[in-house]
Chains A and B, each alone.
Chain A
């Protein structure tokens, strides 16, 4: 499985934007970039995913570098509820390769 690298932890203030980086220098052309987050004592929650173009949804935006070797999850206006561990995961598009393999993720702390 292609590997991702994320900072262990990040800290931000409430109502400010947060940029969570992810490096995936060994990404292949058919790998989708997925982001999940896990709030304390809960199962992971889908945030966003993309392949080449930047993506936006109600939760966040995903900015993908032109060479696809890195990406950034953007929370436009952080709230205390966004405090969680954020996981950047690569998942191949090919049939049958369905499983998500989690790395260590980034623990995001939001200060009031």
Chain B
């Protein structure tokens, strides 16, 4: 089946630093990748959609200069949280989809900003 991985699975960083999260589709080529954020006891909130080789489309209210998304290949997308602050602490989940198929989710990355 389709497998999506994320790295790292958890990360702790200091306030003001940047952190990069990788999302890979391991056994298929993803035409589209998505990034979600989930706070404790809440549902997933879509942050942005990215197509390979194109700029990401951000959802309303998501700062594109703070959450940098790069989708350089059909199997890799990265999310960089720039100048992270404690309120950015969250569970970040990516998903990947190929045309005509279901959307498959990664295991998530727990970010803690101290």
Contact = CB atoms under 8 A, between A and B. Distances in A.
A45 interface: yes
Interface string A27-66: 0000000001010011111100100000000000000000
A91 to B, nearest CB: 9
Contacts of B93: 43-44
For chain A, what secondary structure do more than half of its interface residues adopt (helix, strand, loop), or is it mixed?
Answer: loop
For chain B, what secondary structure do more than half of its interface residues adopt (helix, strand, loop), or is it mixed?
Answer: strand
Nearest to B49: A99
A43 B37 CA distance: 11
A90 to B, nearest CB: 14
A42 B104 CA distance: 12
Contacts of B43: 87, 102-105
A42 B6 CA distance: 11
Interface of B: 4, 6, 32, 34, 36, 43-46, 49, 91, 93-95, 97, 102-108, 110
Contacts of A99: 34, 46, 49
Contacts of B34: 99-100
A38 to B, nearest CB: 8
A74 B46 CA distance: 27
A43 B49 contact: no
Contact of B46 (A41, A42, A49, A101): A101
B108 A46 contact: no
Nearest to A103: B43
B94 to A, nearest CB: 8
B97 A98 contact: yes
Contact of A45 (B6, B36, B46, B105): B105
14 contacts: A43-B105, A43-B106, A43-B107, A44-B44, A44-B105, A45-B105, A87-B43, A99-B34, A99-B46, A100-B34, A100-B46, A101-B46, A103-B43, A105-B43
